[in-house]
Amino acid sequence: MTVSKLTSVAAPVLQRTRNRLPGEGAWATCFLLPLLAGLMVFLLLPLLVSGYLSFTSYNVLEAPRWIGPQNYRELFGQDPMFHKALLNTLIFAAGLVPANMLLALVTSVLLNQVRRLAAFFRSVYFIPVITSEVVFSVVWLWIWNYDYGLVNYVLKMLGLTGPNWLGDSSWAMLAVIVTRLLKNLGMNVVIILAALQSIPGMYYEAAELDGAGWFKKFLHVTLPELGPVIFLTLMVTIIGAFKVFGSIYVLTGGGPAGATNVLVMYLYQLGFKTFEYGKASAVGMVIFALILALTLVQWLLRKKLVYQEE
């Protein structure tokens, strides 16, 4: 074969074919198939089935009956509980995500300033992350308790009377957000801290030579360098907020009066309390659509914002 005659486009193709030993495809099939088949059966197929069921009327007793987009029409048009769950989910995310990002950013910047005990603090912050949501929330049941809880005790020492946090519909959401914030904060701290530590010190030296103070250094060196990691943690935190369930199940059960009822909680109630599988699937698809839309937005924004300097 005359290799010299090949164009630059064809050469890599030929190269690849020549390197492929007989049987590599067969080995690849054997190695990949078990995982791939499982993912198809237990992840992709259920997603498709969920999409199908969302267009049916289906409970335990009868077979699924195709009803078109009626579930969605009902949910969005005339289901106050769904409106509340959707709104609560957005409120939960809008409260949790900025608080988490801001606190994680401040914490990791400060953690990056200190040398002694930094590893110790990092581990302490991470312990709630490895704890189950259920156990963590069970303990916070006491902390928020109206009569003998810690929060109201501290407020009393300050001369204030605390509300019945989990039992008062105007305070329950705040309590749930704070609990969940403290549970998962450590994850973002660890990830952002690692990114901070990988910023080359010479960037700061250069900024200092230009006479930049700590704020200017933060604005012009730290934040741009953290761009990709902030985007990643932001996405993970938002998606996590949309999927919140365990904390709410333990702390409030969605109450009082639906004040903390979120989409997954509503899906759970529809699917496993009143057995409306079709409608519950539609709620599931709404959650999926939210996550999909946000991922797409992130993807587009990331290209535009984060890498513009490269």
Partner 1 sequence: MRANPQISGGSGAALRPAHRSAGSSRVIAYFFLTGLGLVLILPFVWMLSTSLKHPGTEFYYPPQWIPQPPTLQNYLTAVSRADFLRSYYNSIKVAVLTLLPTILLTSLAAYALVKLRFKGRNHIFFLIVMLIMVPQEVTLIPNLLLMKGLGWLDTHSALIVPNIFGSGAVFALFVMRQNMLSLPDSLIEAGKIDGATHWQIYTRIIFPLTKSAVATVSIFTLMNSWNDFIYPLVYLNSSDKYTLPLAIAMFQQAYGMTEWTVWMAASTVSILPLLIAFLFAQKQFIDSMALTGVK
Binding status of residue 174 toward partner 1 by CB under 8 A: no
Provide, rounded to whole angstroms, the least separation between the CB of residue 204 and partner 1. 5
> Which residues in the 244-273 window bind partner 1 by CB under 8 A?
245-246, 249-250, 264, 267-268, 271-272
69-77, 83-91, 162-170, 195-203 -> range binding partner 1 (CB under 8 A)? 195-203
The sign of the dihedral angle between the CA atoms of 84, 86, 87, 90 is positive
Q: Which two tokens stand for residue 31?
A: 């190695």
> Which residues in the 117-136 window bind partner 1 by CB under 8 A?
117, 121-128, 130-136
Cβ proximity to partner 1: between 29 and 169 the closer is 29
Binding status of residue 61 toward partner 1 by CB under 8 A: no
Q: Which two tokens stand for residue 212?
A: 């930049």
Residues with Cβ within 8 Å of 261's Cβ and at least 6 positions away in sequence, in order, are 81, 84, 85, 88, 248, 254, 255, 269
Residue among 186, 162, 185 at smallest CA distance from 175: 162
Q: Which two tokens stand for residue 134?
A: 């259920």
2-10, 71-79, 138-146, 168-176 -> range binding partner 1 (CB under 8 A)? 138-146
Binding status of residue 115 toward partner 1 by CB under 8 A: yes
Residues with Cβ within 8 Å of 297's Cβ and at least 6 positions away in sequence, in order, are none
Bridge partners, residue 175, by sequence? none
Please tell me the distance from the alpha carbon of residue 149 to that of residue 39, in angstroms, as a whole number.
45
For residues 66 to 95, the per-residue mask of contacts with partner 1, x marking binding by CB under 8 A and - elsewhere, is ------------------------------
143 within 8 A of 151, measured Cβ to Cβ: yes
Provide, rounded to whole angstroms, the least separation between the CB of residue 123 and partner 1. 6
Provide, rounded to whole angstroms, the least separation between the CB of residue 83 and partner 1. 20
